[in-house]
Amino acid sequence: MCGCLGELFRHASSRRSALAAAAVGISLTQAAYAAVTEAEREAGETREALAAAAQGARTWLLFGGTAGGPSFWPNTDRMGVSSAVVVGDAAYIVDAGSGGIRRVAQGLEAMSTGPKLGNTQALRGVRAMFLTHMHSDHTVDLPALLLFGYYTGLDRPERGALQIYGPGPRGEMAPIFTPPGQVAKDVAAFSPGNPTPGTREMIELLLAAYATDINDRMRDNGKRPPEKLVQAHDIVLPKVDGFLSPNTTPSPVMEPFGVYEDDRVRVSAILGQHAPIFPAFAYRFDTDEGSVVFSGDTGPCDNIVRLAAGADVLVHEVIVTSYVDRAFPPGRDLVTDGLRAHLLSAHTSVEQVGEIAERAGVDTLVLNHFVPGNATADELLPAQRGFSGKLVIAEDLLAMKLR
């Protein structure tokens, strides 16, 4: 069983109801449309309650940002998707959406039971990070993590470098989207010498782009070179029967494979269905206190069901079908019709996600990575359809016990 109640979070729009939730899980944000500064104030006020609760459980899920899509969504204070699994004093981050790393740092600092040093040591316990795929709404906060990390706990000789795992180079260019019945047109490649870099190259290129800042910090503040703070790894796909290429078989039927292991967690991965992006990973964290799966971006996919089988919690992306209908109203031409179909095939609708969770047999389904980012509870509640377990709608700065 998961240690939180979905209804409480769905209605946690006042400080009173949020504190009522504190006994089973804690939401730091209150008003759906509060300003960031308001969320910070609330984080400070609930810090003691969070720290007290964290002492009683070893494994927590922390939702930093919860919005999906490469957009600054209006009428919401949700930041871009970024989450963390917290096991005692160790933490593991999944993805780095816009503003999401700031949210994770806020949450980790609030959950810390150690000395409060402002926000300066919030990332001290972060051992590893896992990128699901290379879309910008999952990676754009990497510079913030790497560079602000110098002053937020990642410059820690005694604990070693942060280990970042993610997709390797795609290797072949994605196909050019072509509506049915039309002839494909040519599209010139951007950065033709290196059009599909993976995680390791992305980190190297980002750090190189910030060399002026880094050299200043090293020479003026005595900071260590960045390779002492972070080490990036391209995940090597195992041999999969039936896999031909990223464009023809982006999500072949496969078994989960190991990515990372230490004394707190064992992390495994599988390919989701987010074509034409490739690879798109889902991750499973197994701890002594249970298991959680992050779907990453994916359409309905048997691989996700396989990875999540028997897990306690499935954190799954979701898209609101009525939003897609609003964005692409009737009267569509071939292009907009194709775009609409593409959007729906590479993501999972609120009407589909419950069945995925039911088939996986998880106790709790947490909806996350909302498209649109300002989706309302009423638009998301149909996710309960077909699912007999507990439904939770994630909020920025929601912390919940794994079970």
Could you list the residues that contact Zn ion (CB under 5 A)? 135, 297
Q: How far apart are CA 187 and CA 211, in angstroms?
A: 32
Give Cα 64 distance to the centre of its chain.
9
**CA atoms 363, 89, 199, 262: torsion sign:** negative
User: Nearest distance from residue 54's CB to Zn ion, in Å?
Assistant: 31
User: Nearest distance from residue 371's CB to Zn ion, in Å?
Assistant: 10
Q: In 3D, which of 162, 271, 178, 130 has the Cα closest to residue 227?
A: 162
- Cβ nearer to Zn ion, comparing 102 with 135: 135
- Cβ nearer to Zn ion, comparing 256 with 279: 279
User: Nearest distance from residue 31's CB to Zn ion, in Å?
Assistant: 28
User: Nearest distance from residue 66's CB to Zn ion, in Å?
Assistant: 15
DSSP 239: P
- Cβ nearer to Zn ion, comparing 124 with 347: 347
Residue keyed to tokens 């638009």: 379
| Half-sphere exposure in the Cβ direction for 45 (13 Å, CA) | 15
- Cβ nearer to Zn ion, comparing 135 with 264: 135
User: Nearest distance from residue 363's CB to Zn ion, in Å?
Assistant: 27
CB 244 within 8 A of CB 261: no
Pairing of strands 230-235, 162-167: parallel
- Cβ nearer to Zn ion, comparing 198 with 226: 198
**Integer CA distances (angstroms), 285 to 48, 85, 129, in order:** 27, 8, 12
- Cβ nearer to Zn ion, comparing 105 with 131: 131
Q: How many residues does the chain have?
A: 403
User: Nearest distance from residue 369's CB to Zn ion, in Å?
Assistant: 8
